[in-house]
Each structure stands twice: as structure tokens, then as C-alpha cells.
Amino acid sequence: MSDGARKKDRVPVDVEVVWALPSRGTSGRGRLVDVSETGVCLSIPSDVKTDRLAKVSLVCSKIPALPSGGEVMWMRVARGTTLWGIRFGSPGPNWSAWLSTQSKART
């Protein structure tokens, strides 16, 4: 969107996640920066590279409702880390319910 407005509200978080790129046989730990109904922003070490639309798997013990994966929509290097914008395919009702409780807790 050219005006910088987001289609979905984001909820800031700081939670560890395990990620994997099955097509590359690469995995590691990162941190969720923010979450929304349709995706997440994931911070990982800057030496990890991937392609746009690569499938990524996610596991987070602190957020069991987190969808198990999605596609990398964008990548940016910022302050020694790489940020990935990940879009979920079908997040499901558990994710929507969890996100709703987080949004209400922040207001």
C-alpha cells in the first residue's frame, strides 16, 4: 500500500520461535517481533538468506495457537539481524482467538 497503512493491526511481541526452511534443510531460532491475523514479523540472524515465497515452518511453545507456517513475503536487514515478513496460508480460529485476547490485553 503506497500510503504506508497496514491492512491488519499488528500486536508487538517478543517471543522465541523455532523456524525451518524445509526446501533448504535450514533451521534455527529467532524472535517474533509482531503478529497479526495474517502473519508475523520474525527476526533471525543476518547470515540466513532465503527467497521470497519460500515456505517456512514455525514452532513456538509459548504460543501454541501460532500457525505452523507460511510464506516469506519480504526480507530486510536491520541492526545486525534479518527480518522476515511471513504470511500465513490459513491461520484458523485458534489463532484468531489468541490474537484477540492479546489485542484486548494491550488496550
Burial class (CB in 10 A: 0-12, 13-18, 19+), 87: middle
Comparing 39 with 47, the larger pLDDT belongs to 39
In the numeric block, the cell 497496514 is attached to 6
Q: What is the pLDDT of residues 55-94, one digit of tens each?
A: 999 999 999 999 999 999 999 987 888 999 999 988 889 9
pTM of the predicted model over 0.85: yes
Q: Which domains does the chain carry?
A: 11-90 (2.40.10.220)
